[in-house]
Every structure is written in structure tokens, then in C-alpha cells.
Structure 1
Amino acid sequence: MSGIRLLNEDISILQLYISGQIRYSIPEEMQKGSSVGNIAKDLGLDVEQLSDRAVRILSRGRTQYFALNFKSGHLYVTERIDREEICGGMEMCLLNCEVIVEDKMKLFPVEVEITDINDNAPSFRSEEFDLKISETTAPGSRFSVRQAEDPDMGLNSIQSYQLSSNIHFLLDVETRSDGVKYAEVVLEKSLDREEQAVHNLILIATDGGDPVRSGTTQIRVIVLDSNDNAPVFSQPVYKVSVWENVPKGSTVVTVKATDLDEGVNKEVKYSFQKITDKKFSLDSENGKITVKEPLDFEETRDYTMAVEAKDGGGLVTHCKVEIEVIDENDNAPEVTFTSVSSPVPEDSVPGTVIALISVNDLDFGDNGKVACHLMDDFPFIIRSSSNNYYKLLIDSHLDREKTPEYNITITATDKGSPTLSTQKTILLQISDINDNAPVFEKPSYTAYVPENNPSGASIFSVEASDRDLDRNARVTYSIRSSNLQEVLLSSSISINSQTGAIYAQRSFDYEQFREFEVQVQAQDGGSPPLSSNVTVRVFILDQNDNAPRILYPSLGADGSALFEMVPRSAEAGYLVTKVVAVDADSGHNAWLSYHLLQATEPTLFSMGLHTGEIRTARGFADRDAVKHRLVTLVKDNGQPPLSATVTLNLVFAENFQEALPEMSDQSGDSTPQSDLQFYLVLALALISFLFLLTVTLAIVMKLRRSRKPKLFQCFGPEPYSKTGSVFPPNYEDGTLPYSYQLCLSSDARKNDFSFLKPNGQVADNILCGESSGMVFMGNGSSGLNDKAVKMQGKSF
């Protein structure tokens, strides 16, 4: 704009009278209001008359660029004048207008030449453009580029081109016949797309104006690829480690091959050069190698594969992939019993090897190191023998009877993390040896056998157990000894050698012997055999198989009843006589009771139920008969009860002579009266003999009692003591006719009874029965007086 102002100051207006025209010359881009020329002066018009004369400017075209200043008479610019816009590329740019003076009716043409100023810089159609050149293009090749444009004219238009510095291209500028500058790019050095795919060049167009203006554009030289590069892997060998338990589909490694080419030539496809294992798969697009099948370190520890990379142009390269499988502790130890000794004798010594164990773990390193131990507290230990072998040994003594077999559990544990273990159980049986003697159920046995048992019946059974097995536990029984005589033992009992049942060989008699002991031996079948003994004490239980035996009064030799003399003066309660009886049984079976069955005068006599005493129930009356016949019954307490009877003849008289006629009448049928004296004398002699015999027998029995105390038992006068008295408790209300001890001699086939004073005094009177062998020692308190003794002799 400063240039425009200068032009306005220095402008010289030429008046050309060419065809009556006026021409002015002004530069473009003058400011609005700038003066073009003093048109009033140039036309010879008075300035003061301009408005009155109606002078006006008429421009051609739609835009009115000029106007007249009526005050000064100057022609001035009213619109922006852009020469390039108005005239384009024309060398001469003129704007025409007419000055009309209406009062003179004259028309004056005016031409205004618009001169160019350097108001436009060179410009390109785009700020950048691409120039594609193949990397195989030879140096010296020329490439036209887009030309710059400058609407200015002359020197203000493009005068030169420049190219930014580079090593591959030069710029060649030529001028055409029309004067226009034309630039071309010349390839000076071969291109390598893989080295540099794009070259950015700056093309500068410069005009000749003042000041100089320029315009730029960027030339992007794109080097077109040719398949001159094969794919290249990032590394020739890929080494990778992977755990063996990696899941299927996991990526192991990604191979990467790059191709410096581009486009199709850059597209790389991957494949296995040779498929050696189907455990892995390869993605042909991205080179990912993934697990296709489960890996097993114990099967294959490493894999080697050749991978091929091929680009779109067919160039190929290879790499090697080495995959190492890392061991996981995925295998539990394997336990194998290579040798087992079963059964094992229970007398095996500690240290005996009973099993050889092989332990193996397919894992590697610590995962494959195994230690073995026993689970239970058994008498065994396990020791390492050699590599992967263990021995199972006996640690302490075995006892089959306590534990006949062992379920031995062996645990093998590796040292992996986490640890894995395996348990293996072996059944070890312990074989028997004969180390246990038979044992009876009880330390001793007591058997109770009723007397009169049937011959051959089983009376008892013993049983012994042996903790051993089979033959060592087969027990046989035998009788070793007894307190019976050998002959009596063999005929009395026997034992079943297999079952231990004891049999009675004969019927036992409680009155013969009441108990005996036998020693039974149980012996096993081992070698050597072992045995044990037990004592069996057999008690014979009494049965009521003996009827009471009346000792007094006894019958005469002819079976006649005895006579007892009772004083007529006897009062009530007078002891007439006493029936004495014994029972060979014992206990309840020997409890005796006395009953008066028949009497001539039942009201005159009474009889003690347990004492057997016959007493007068009242005094004798004159109306009563002199002779009385009494039948008494002695009954035991057994089931069923057994009994015996005796008949007594009683005579009421004050003396023997008075009673003799009555007794004579009774015995007249059997014995003549004339023989009475003979029998009395005989009785006295016999009594004397029996007295001496009794004394002798007493001494002999005393000696025998000291030798065989068990074969002589005495029954004292105590009433039913806890020691087994044969008399019931209520015997204390009465006694036998005399104070006595009843002694039973268990001699074979003979019973001897003695009635002795408890205080050991010598008896006053002695009555002896020849057939019975019984001795009665009285204490002098009985009603049996001397006369009665004489009467006894008479009856004999």
C-alpha cells in the first residue's frame, strides 16, 4: 500500500487526445478514495460549475470503480481494484468509463490503465502431492512436478524454482517458449524402499517482485516396493520353557518374521517346515505357537521344530523353535512289592526281611525324590536298601495269638511342592508255632453228681482252649490222677479224649464215698506237645435211698417185740423209753420224725416228734390194762419219704416178779417158761462179752480214725449245726435216750454206730446187738434199769 501511496504522489497524468480519449494509469490495489486524476481540469471544466452542469461518471460493467469529486474535480477510486481479478493474465489491463456533461451533451471516454504490483506470491494447487517412484527406477530418470502459479505479471510472476537439499533428487528448471518456467525432478541416486520408503522434498517457487514473494509445496516421494527382501525372523532360534501342566490352547511362544517389503511382498505366512509332533499348533497369520495336546514331561522333555516364514512374493526363511518342558509334580510315587514273605512264623527274630519294596517316581529332581514310612505302630520298620529300594523288616517279637495278621500300609511321599504320596497296603499273615499250652476255662472245677446215677452217663465236661492254630490247637484230654484208688478210679470214671466229657463208669453211692478229686490233663498236638492240668472235684449228692434204721429198741432173735416195764406209780411225763433210729442219708434226707401209730390206750402215752421219747401222758389208773402194745413209725424227710416201724410191749409193774407173768403170757408160744432162767444167764454172758468187744473195737476205731479221718464221721449232739448235722433245728427240745455221739464207720459193706458221751465218761450200762454190731453206752439216767437188762436177755 506504501507503493500505492508513492504512485499517487508521483503520478503524472498524460492527456492523450487520441480519438478524443483521456487515459490515466494507476497501480492496482489503491485505497478507496485515492485520486486517479483531475478530470475537470483535463476536460476544461469549471469546478464550480460541475454540479450545475450535471457532470457524471458512467462506468462499464457491474462494478463502479471510480467517482467524481465535485468539489475538487478529481476522479477517485471507489472500490478495490485487483488487476488479477479484473484482467486475469492480460498484459494490458484497462478500465473504461465515460464522463457525461449533460448541459453540453458531450461524452468524453476515459481509460484507466491498471498496472501490476507484486501482490501475489507464487502458489501451488496443493500444499503437498505424492510422487510414486519404484525402488528399481534407474538414476537419471526425470519426473515432472506440479508447477506453481503466480497471477502477477512480468517480474512479479515466477522467476525461479528451488528444491530442498537431499541426496537422491535434483531439480531441473526449463523455460518454455512462452517464457514460463518449468521444473522437473531428476533421480540422482537409486532408491531403496526398505531403507527409506518415503522422501519428503520441499519445492520453492520464487517471483521477481519487490519484495520477492515465494510459495512452497511438499513433494512426498513414495518409493514403490519390489520383492527384493525375504522375511527375517527376529531371532534364529527361539528357546522357551513351559510347564508340563499348561492348559490346552495356551500360547507357548510367538515367532516373528519381518519383511522389509510392503504390500503383498510384506505379507508373511508361517508354517511348520516338518511336523514332528502334534502337540503344538502354529497360527499362520501371527506366528503364535500354542499347545494343542497335553504335555507330559515324563513322555517328552523337549521339542525342536523348524518354522518357515514365506512372504507374498514367495521368498522363504526359517527359524528353529526349541521348547523345553518343565517338570511339574504331577506323578505320585509308584510302590511295588517285588518280594513278600507271607505268612511269617511268629517266632521270627527281629531284623528278618519280610518284603522288598520298589519305589519309583516319574518326576524329575526333587519331584522325583521319594521317602517311605509306615503309617501304623506295628512291630515293623522300613529301611532304604539301595536306589529306589526299601526293605520291610521285623522290629520286635511277633505274637500270632495277639495279632494273627497285619494290614501294613506303606506311604511313599515325594519332595515336590505340593507333595504327592501313595499308599500301598500289604496283608501279612503270621503263621503259628506251638507256643501256647492249653488253658482251661477255670482254675478248678466242681461237679455235683446225684448218687445212684446211671452207669455210663456224662457227669461233667471240661474244656480247654489253645490259642495256637490247627494241629497245635488240637486238644486231647486224659485223667492223670485221683485221690481214689487206681482200681476204683478206672472203674468209676472215664473221660472223652476229644470233647473233655467225663463219664461215670458205675453208679455212685453217697454212703460209700461222698467226694473225690481227679486231675484232668489237656494236651495239644504240637511238637513238642504242651499241656496243662486242672483239678475236678466231684461231689456225690445224696438221695433218699436209705430208710431210717431203728437202733433201739431192737427185736428179739425170734422177731418178738421187746418188753419195757413201767412203774405203776409213774406220773405224767415219765420217760418210758426212747426210740433211737439213724438214717444213712444226709441232710434233709436224714431228718427223722417219730410218730405213734398204734397204742392200746392212746391217751396214756405220748411220743416226741423229733426226740423219739415215749412218755406217759397221765398217771396209771386201776382201770387201765397192765400190758400195752405200741407201734411207732420213724420217717425221714426225703422225697419221697422212707420209714421204719417198731413195736413196743409195755408192762405196768412195780417189780420184775410182778411183770414176769404178763411177759410170760406174751411169749409163751415161742419160749417155754422153764427156759427163762437159761436165757437170762445167756444174756448176761453175752452182754459181758460184747462189753469187752466194744472196748476193743473202740480202741481199734480210734486208731483207724487217726489214720483215715475221712472214712469215719461223727455226728454230735449239736442241733442242726452249719457243719452238716443230720438233725433238724428243732431237735433241741429233746435228745436221744442217752447223751451220745453218733459215729458212722464207712467200712466196706459194714456200718458201725457208737453212741458216746460228750464228756468222755465210761458208760454204766452197755447194750449190745450181735446182729447189728451196735454198741449203746448209757449214762445211767435212762429208765432202762437192771431189770430191763435182764428182760432184754430174756428176749434174746
Structure 2
Amino acid sequence: MITAWEVVTGQIHYSIPEEMQKGSSVGNIAKDLGLDVKNLSVQGLHILSAQNEIQYFDLNLRSGHLHTRERIDREKICSGGGKCLLYFQIVMDSKMKLYGVEVEIQDINDNAPYFAPEEQKLKISETSTIGSRFPLPEAQDPDEGINSVQNYKLTGSSYFSLDIQIGENGARHVSLVLERSLDREENSFHDLILTATDGGKPVRSGSVKIQVVVLDANDNAPVFSKHIYEVKVKESIPKGSTVCTVKAIDLDEGVNGEIKYSFRKIEETASQTFILDSVKGEISLARNLDYEESPLYEFDVQAEDGGGLSGRAKVMIIVTDVNDNAPKVEIASHINSIHEDSPPGTIIAILRAQDKDSGNNGEVTYSIDSKIPFQLKKVVDNFYNLVTTRILDREQMAFYNITVVVSDHGTPPFSTSTFIPLQILDTNDNPPHFMHSINFFYIMENNPRGSSVFALQADDPDWGENSKITYSIIEEDTRDSFISSYLSINSETGVVYALNSFDYEEIQKIQFQVKAKDGGSPPLSSNCIAHSTILIILYPGLESFSCRPDLLTKLFYNFPPSTE
């Protein structure tokens, strides 16, 4: 059964059995998040997968359903007991929202118990007393709970019975119990079959053939110096290093006292990682360790003497983490541009950092330049939002290349940088600006019609249409309406033209306002006052002359009267 609910943290939880067909529905993620199915693609809803991890699910944007991308084998992705949970996030780009999703993979009885190797020999002395116990190989079953090994059955000989002990962790330990005295001369071999069954429906089973070889008297079995060998090693130790040495003692002499060591009850990963010297008992590395791959290895070592008696000890190798991985930064969602009037707290990007190390080596810290108007705010786990801290000003800075540095807490620490480009879009927040609010100009009388008499110039620091300026003459009331009969202004350049020839005897001064308006929406504008004085012609030939006041001063006061 597939179930879903939303917990207090906002995380969606689903529960599905393993081995579902590819494309099977996990749940309606849109419904559970309260989203409109029609707008999923527009809202930019997508699954954010962890770096370097397999993506097991797909999101159907037409239906809002979460589907399996492939068959999911619980035993392949989750070793050991406990819940098997797959975590991922759903990101909505349009609202810069992040939703956590966890899918619990429930075990089904898809694995039968098995023994390795398929045939085993057990050597027992004919002098063994009734009631003697001999450890038997235990079956492995990657399923969990009731679907794992629940019972054993022994067939093949009336000389032996089976004893099953349940350990603290629920594991079944099986031993062969001698029920009748052995006589090698009467029967030197006993062929047994040990069958393990699980508790699934239907029940699955696996068997192993055990041949008991009856030996001549061997008084003492090997005894290990410890019942459990527990060692801690750093994952950085080189291949070939000795990590542990086991030692067993046998009080017998000769062949019966010669001991050989071998692995027992060892998983495939451990058997590929460690080598056991059968004579010295030294356990060394066959390959490099990786804490992130496996932090703990457990297996049994057997010591067997030349007479066939044996003893066992457990070995626990605990791998400790070293800081051998740099953080990896992923930009889950981001925008490329924002308007300069965006409010403080506007989300620019959602980032996630991951470090495969553990403890302090896997803890990370984010940092950005404190001089720029942005900051990082934690959302959940290692997710952070990059947000603005104030209203931006495009006229001061039109583009940012934001550097985010993520450092772990290892010794020495590793760090990774990522760059987020951001363009600041213009808003019409600056009106046109005249250099002077009042401007003085001089016009010679008898000027040619249509000639330019002076120019006004305004600037606007905005960009594009927001900075495009249009000029116009303002006539405040009907008394000044005569201005339009004398002057006109080029709306694009601000150059003022004379529509008629001025006569000093008719008009000596003209005062009017000029408006500069930008092309923004809504537009902004500013005004200035223009004072124009009509100058009388004192010297023939200067009818079309116009210039600045300082040049006029030179003209009228520095030239002698007789000069043309």
C-alpha cells in the first residue's frame, strides 16, 4: 500500500514496496502540496536530485504524479536493518520554494536464504562427548524482519541434533549437538543437510550440504585470545597495511596443534576488502578503505587445527573518517536578473552544499563578500537562500558576479566556490536633470528666421527608454502664448530655434520654461527657466551672431567703436 502525509516540517512522506514495476505511481505530489496541476510546467516544478546519486523517481508535469523510474531493490540501496528511506527535494522555480520528500522502501520477501560455500566439511573427533556443540554456518538473507532467516532444520543423521540460539540483535546462531557417540571405524562420514527458512509469504528457503568427517582423537580445540577483536583504522591507511592480527592457541602437539585461519560468515564487500594470512592470522587491506562506502566491517575468523577441531572469534573493524572530500555546491534554482527596486529579501538563488565526509569533516559553512548587498539564509539542512539585503541601485552597480564559498570543518579544511551572475534591471527612478535651474541666453536682433539661437541640455542616469529625454516649451498662461510665435524647441536635441526675426524695438526679453521628460512608465520630468535677452545691433554684419555672455562682453567692451 502506498501512503502519504505531510509532517510539521512540510516534508512529504510516501511508503512503497520494493520491486514495483517501472513507471508505477508513488503518489500525487501536486495534490499533496496543494498545487494546481495545470500550471506545474509554468511554475518550473522539478525534482532536485543529490549529486552523484541515482534518481529513482520522475515527476509527471501533466498529471502531478510521482512515478518510479526503475525497479527499486531495497537490499541494493539499503544494507542492514532499519528503515530504508530515499530523500530528495522538489523545487518550484517560480516561487523559489523547496519541498522535502522522503520515500520509504518497504521490504518484500524477494530473497531466499543462502549459504556460502554450498558444501562444507566439519571434522569431529570420535572422542567427542555426547552433548558437544559445534558451530554451523549461518545463512544470509538480505531481506529484513520476518522476511529474513527465521528457522533452521537438520536432516540426514540420527547422531546429531540442531540447537538454535537467538542473539540480542535477533540473529539465529546454530550449532550441531552430538546425540550419540561416534565410532570412526564404524562410520567415518555423516552427510547432513542444513536448511534455512525465512518467514515471508510464500516462505523461501536455502540449503547447504555438510559432511561430518569423524577423526581420530584430538584432545584440544584452538582457543582465541579474544572473543571479539575490535580495531579502529583511518580510511586513509594505504592498501596492504595490516589492520588486525588474530591469535589462537592449541595445546595439542604435532599436526593436531597446527592452526590455520580462515574467514567465516563474511559478506562479499568485506571479502573483497581484507586478506587473511592463514598461518600468521594477520588481516590486511586488499584495497583502500572508504568511510563513505562502509564505516564498519564485521565477520568471523575460524582457527582450525590439523585434527579438525576449530574455534571462532568475531572481528569488528571500525573505519574512522578523514577529511578527503571537498564540499560540492549545487545551484538548485536561480534567476539571472532582478529590477533595482526589488524589495529586500528577494530570493536570487537556492543553493545546496554536500560533503561526503562525516562529523566535522562533513559540516559546511557558507560565506559571501560582506561588502555586497546580499546574504545567505538557511532554509533546511544544507539548503540556503541567497537574498538581497536592501533595494539595489542600477546606476551604482549594473551587474554582480556573486561568489559563494563553501568550506568544511575538517583539518585542514576544504572549500569550493561557485559563481552566480546577476544583472540589475533598470527602473525609472531618476528624473531628467538640467545643469542649471535658470539659464541666461542672448539673441541678436534681425536674426535669420529658423536659425538656432541656443540649446538646453538635460541628462538622465537611467537606461534605455527610461533615459530617453523629450524637450518641450511650457506656456504657463495665455499672456505668454506669444512665445510659440517666436520660438520652437527640437524635442529630441533641446535646440531652440527662432521662428521669426527679432526686433529690439518690439521685444527686449523673453522668459519661459522648458520641460525635460523621460520615456519611463510612468514618465518623470523636470523644468528649467530660460531668460533670453534681445541685443540691439551696434555693428552691421553681426545680425546673426549669438554667443555666451563672456564672449559678448569681449565683443562690446574690448573692440574699438570703429571696428566693423
- TM-score, normalising length: structure 2: 0.49
Larger radius of gyration: 1
| More helix by percentage | 1
- TM-score, normalising length: structure 1: 0.36
